[in-house]
Amino acid sequence: MKRTVVRLGVLLLVTFAVAAVLLALLTPFSPDGTGDYRATATEIPDYRVNKLGERDHELTVDSAALGRDGMVRILLPEGWKPGSGPWPVLYLLNGCCQAEYDSWITQGEAARLTAGYRALVVVPEVGTVGFYSDWRDGPGWETFHLTEVRQILESEYGASDRRAVAGLSMGGFGAMSYAGRHPGMFQAAASFSGVLHTRDGNGGVEWLLRRNGESSAKLWGAPQDPAWAAHNPTDLTGKLRDVRLFVSSGDGSPGPLDGPTATQDDGEAALLRQAQAFAERARADGANVTVDFYGPGTHTWPYWRRGLERALPMLMGSIGAAP
């Protein structure tokens, strides 16, 4: 009788332990304490491929994180074919309010600038003001980019675990936030006129959200909520020590790449102050930072194209994708 009781007790303990482990694995968690971190998907999403050119694929992804289809452009390196690889990956992240999700290709000349590099170049959709985050009440952009799209890249395009990320404006925020929030995922990150301090009153996050009919409460909660700091590049510099960084911005005055009617751009001037503060703090925390504070220049495409061209040798070299 005693042996039967002991065996039943052991069986119950084992059952409870297994149940606890399964519950922990199935319960969403959040590194910023929100309890709504969704980057736990394991199944590769369904997707459709539209071949826009020999080395240019457009993907329509059936995204559970977004609750709808999500778009991705992939520029393939020379020599790519199904089953080849592993290939390093460069993510290019869009800014806010762009009419085209793939404006790095349509306006940023990414195809030309990256043509000689042996890496997959990935340009994912992020909505108008997605801010590269899993919204508390809305789409899960972070999960879409770093889980769903990554799974497709690795399983279908031969992507390796060597990654770099770069972006303009809101995309500059995304590049540094992603690299800081996911240590070890990216070897290099670059920001061109990026929003690098979301808790700075001049950062424009609240203004951009309101202008586009969105609320910060749906994104990260009230400004005092810990989620703001958990996504903020300037609060994440201590986690960027092992990431090579490139930060560029102009001072907002009309520069050599502006047209004759250009005027002072106060928004770019504010972003320069953020970039300077970010770079100083990152260096104090031991990060390897290259800066390009080029003086006159506004918040426009000619400067972002030039910024990418200047950053590419570092970005691609960091992931072993030199020409």
Q: Where do we find the tokens 């799974």?
A: 151
Cβ atoms of residues 267 and 204 within 8 Å: yes
Q: Does 11 have pLDDT greater than 80? A: no
Helices (H) and strands (E) in the chain, counts: 11, 9
pLDDT surpassing 80 at residue 117:
yes
Q: What is the per-residue pLDDT for 30?
A: 39
Global model pTM greater than 0.85: yes
Is residue 158 predicted with pLDDT exceeding 90?
Answer: yes
Q: How far apart, in whole angstroms, are the C-alpha atoms of residue 283 and residue 244?
A: 11
Compute the average pLDDT of residues 58-73: 98
Q: What would the pLDDT profile of 31-60 be if each residue is shown by its tens digit?
A: 343 333 344 456 899 999 999 998 999 999
Q: What is the overall mean pLDDT for the chain? A: 88
E-strand ranges in 97-178 read: 120-124, 159-168
Q: Return all residues near 14 (Cβ < 8 A) that are at least 6 apart.
A: none
Between 110 and 36, the more confident residue is: 110
Residue 206: what are its φ and ψ, rounded to 5°? -60, -40
Which residues are CB-neighbours of 101 under 8 A, at least 6 positions away?
Answer: 71, 94, 123, 124, 125, 126
Q: Which of 117-131, 138-152, 210-224, 236-250 has the lowest mean pLDDT?
A: 210-224
pLDDT computed for residue 201 by the predictor: 61
Per-residue pLDDT band for 98 (boundaries 50, 70, 90) equals confident
How do residues 214-226 score in pLDDT, each as one tens digit?
A: 888 999 998 889 9
pLDDT band at residue 4 under the 50/70/90 scheme: very low
Length of the chain: 323
171-185 residue pLDDT tens: 999 999 999 999 999
Euclidean distance between CA atoms 213 and 127, whole angstroms: 13
User: What is the per-residue pLDDT for 157?
Assistant: 97
Given this model, what pLDDT does residue 210 score?
86
In sequence order, the β-bridge partners of residue 51 are: 57
